[in-house]
Structure 1
Amino acid sequence: SSGGTTATSANANFTFGDGDATVLQSSITAASGGYTVNTIGLDPTLGNYDFDDVAFTGSANLASAVGGVVMISQDGGVIAAGTNGLSAAVTTVTAAQADAMTGTLTFAFVGTVDLSATPFTLDSGQSITGFGNGSSIITSGTIQPINVQGNLGATGGNVTGNEGVVKSTGGDTLQLLGSNQVRDTAFDFTGGSGSVFTIDQNAGGFSNVGGIVIQGVTVSNVATGQTAFKVAGLDTNLSITDNNVNVAGTLLDVDGGAGNITVTRGTLPNSGPAGTLTGGGISIA
């Protein structure tokens, strides 16, 4: 892809060599600082590219597959290295696509993602990680598009980037259904109405056997009359520690329940400085 995105993807049927992998009779050697084959931005539904007959010297440029982590961006697709501070290209989905996924999954936000239209729900057992506080996400290898044949190789390692920012000018931003961890991500509630985090034990599908942990996050721009953390009827564990929370609105609103709720300023992860815990009050009913 000339632009590194699927919008400029090639659409051709291409064979290098005779297309037979039995005996490799062709070769491609990467130039200094270059790649054997660059697949970044290639649409896997367009064309076919056959390198079965090729012996490669050097590395191909392949998007990273983040092990166990579903990356979320505003528009989905491949986000190139260097964008949002990424150390490697990553493949992402939209928030709507991620929200529809089931099972024990971990998500990470890349760049700024606006959830104003629809709040995001973490099913029981799902979590959010991020690049905040100098954190990295371990990759399990690289993605070779399904319409590219041949042994292009695979690499693994850590991906780093700028802290993802989740915005919402609509209603509640994030609903947690139990046994969740939310880490190293920023939540900007400018213009928002309601709460940033909602934890309601009476919500359908709620199960909090493992407890909820919110750590290393940044919460900002929660106005007076709005709430950072809203908890209803919780009879299990909730830990909100080691965060940067600085809001004018209600810091914590607890309605009913007999759970064990811990809220401390603490120290930011990865040997960071002291956290921040400032709000317009706590409501307990």
Structure 2
Amino acid sequence: MKISHWRESAIGLVVPVVIILLWQMAAMLGWVNPQVLPSPWAVAVKWVEYALPLTAFDPAAGSRLAWMFSGELLIDTLGSMYRVVVGFAIGAGLALPIGLWMGSSKKAYAWLNPMMQVLRPIPPIAYIPLAILWFGLGNAPALFLISLGAFFPVLMNTIAGVRQVDSIYIRAARNLGVNRRTMFIRIMLPAAVPYILSGVRIGIGTAFIVVIVSEMIAVNNGLGFRILEAREYFWSDKIIAGMISIGMLGLAIDIGMNRLNNYLLRWHRGLES
């Protein structure tokens, strides 16, 4: 299993490596404007400068020349992750009980579903003006937008999971005289867990997308803010370095969520090999 896993990972690296080599070749041959599209090497150098908290010194004079390495990456990453975790916790914490209620109760579904279907297509970005009016600037509007981004994926998957429980299980439980509370806890909820975890995975990915947008508007730190700052000064190498940082962080989050899902669903027949 481990050999197969490493083989799949190696195969997945082929296309990115080829793209980077072609990109570097185009930059070396002068086919692209380095101000518009810097070379991969220039981006890598800028990423190191962005990440490492070091200072450049003049060895002769012994005086500090400039901050060559800012160490901003760690601070920005922590700021973005804080907003993602808190905003996702708020959105998912509200969506899960509402989704379980709507999925298990026909009356609740009839009452709430029309409103949810009207609000669901509205992207969180459309709420930016209202978020700033309601909460001002800072973390509050960002957390509001992230919560919205996480809410609906978790809600809709939870509803779908509860409502699509196999009717055979329901009929068998009723024939055995199981009460409604036990049926919900022991049958409907476990059967809906794969859907719920899929919604959680989608929701946290959406929350990570929204945090980048919200940081460009409402806060003065984070990965999104740093990319916007780099755009103002036309630091294209730093823009790409920030984008790569976002991609790596998003990949790490997705891998972690996938492993958590596999662990929690190890009983599920869909994971049997």
TM-score w.r.t. length of structure 2: 0.18
TM-score w.r.t. length of structure 1: 0.17
Larger Rg computed on CA atoms: 2
Higher relative contact order (CA 8 A, sep 6+): 2
Higher helix share: 2
